[in-house]
Amino acid sequence: MVNDGAWSGLGWRARLTRKREYDEDDVRVRPSRSSRPRTRTRPKHSDAVEGFVVAVDRGRYTCHVAETDAVVTAMRARELGRRGVVVGDNVQIVGDVTGRPDTLARIVRIDDRSSMLMRTADDEEGTTEGRFERVVVANAEQLVIVNSLHDPPPRTGFIDRCLVAAYDAEIEPLLCLTKGDLAGPEAVLDYYSELDLPYVLCRPDAPLDELVEALSGKLSVMIGHSGVGKSSLVNRLVPGTDRAVGVVSAVGKGRHTSTSAVALRLPGDLGWIIDTPGIRSFGLAHVSADSVLHGFPDLVEASTRCAPNCDHTGAGGECGLDMLVAEGGADPRRLASFRRLLASKEGTHDPQDAGNEDLPLP
């Protein structure tokens, strides 16, 4: 190394061009991003306001803010992870919650759900979605099962599936029979006579007072096959909604008109209804066999007469359900429907028949 005297005697040009010698004091080690300590403290968002999710569309969530009666468009905050937000969720929102055009808020929390209505896409086993579970809506208090009495005819298999899903989610069911001007409800009501199932009968030429009374003060979700008149009911319940209305094909099947779930407030602030897209199946692969049985309250008690580990299919010997039917204590059609649902749940029947296990009505 050059001594200080020699170094100081060099000209300024030589000092600039002379090669510098480094030692360990010159080394600066910068930690990698992965080794940086991260704080676990997250923002408390104490300024968040309560919102109610009324629609979901490609990562954007339309929320109603009760405090200001504003309708806000929001996105999901990163800290929510992969937890999904669905129609009916109560959420906490920060950011611009005025609802002005071209503004965007942020959902930072999802409140605990009181209920989750779910279905399994077991009618789509050939797709990449397979038999995945889907949350249809959250926090619903009542499931309105819309079924027409004529064109298309009543779908008892679909009603049974919806009842199982409702009881499993601890949601009160309500049977809504449409097109009462074309056929009477006696056959359907007789089929469910042992269930004490509440129902309303709707006609296009009569007021909907009975249905409105049943919906008042509740968050209700309406579900039904395509073509049963569900969208027409919604348009009558909430004028100005303009939900698309389709027609029934020549083979008695409706075409999908509603394309996404949306929550609508009843006039007079009487309650909320969630209109869901018309579906052709309602998979129950996510429901246990015991829960399926509890969807048939008229058969449950007879299961105490079954042998241990009875699968209730009737293939393993004497089943208490068969005994009940043989004694005239239950409708054999109800037992047949229950076993069809079990077979569907286990994947031992054609998944395209999910919800179409319609039994002949007298």
Rg (CA), the chain: 30
Stretch 152-175: mean pLDDT, rounded? 93
pTM: 0.79
- Which of 295, 86, 39, 121 lies closest to 192 in space, CA to CA? 295
Asked if residue 26 has pLDDT above 60, the reply is: yes
Of 40 and 251, the one with more pLDDT: 40
Q: What is the mean pLDDT of residues 98-108?
A: 92
Dig out the tokens for 90 from the structure: 């109560």
Of the two residues 290 and 14, the one the predictor is more confident about is 290
Determine the residue type at 227. G
φ and ψ at 54, to 5 degrees? -110, -15
Q: ∠205-206-212 over CA atoms, to 5°?
A: 135
Q: Does 84 have pLDDT greater than 50?
A: yes
Distance CA 132, CA 224 (A): 20
Residue 69, φ and ψ in degrees, nearest 5: 60, 30
Residues 6+ apart with CB under 8 A from 281: 122, 123, 351, 352, 354, 355, 356
- Span 205-256, pLDDT tens digits: 899 999 999 999 999 999 998 889 898 899 999 998 866 554 443 334 444 4
Residue 107: pLDDT over 70: yes
* Mean pLDDT, residues 162-171: 93
Percent of the chain with pLDDT over 90: 51
Find out whether 301 and 325 touch, Cβ atoms under 8 Å: no
Q: pLDDT digit string (tens) for 298-314?
A: 999 999 998 888 889 88
64-68, 120-124, 194-198: lowest mean pLDDT where?
A: 120-124
User: Is the backbone of residue 269 left (phi > 0), alpha (psi -120 to 50) or beta?
Assistant: left
87: which 2 tokens?
């129609």
Q: Counting beta carbons within 10 angstroms of the beta carbon of residue 272, is it exposed (0 to 12), middle (13 to 18) or buried (19 or more)?
A: buried
Are the beta carbons of 328 and 298 closer than 8 angstroms?
no
pLDDT at position 248 is: 43
Mean pLDDT of the chain: 82
Q: Which range (8-12, 79-83, 189-193, 262-266) has the least confidence?
A: 8-12
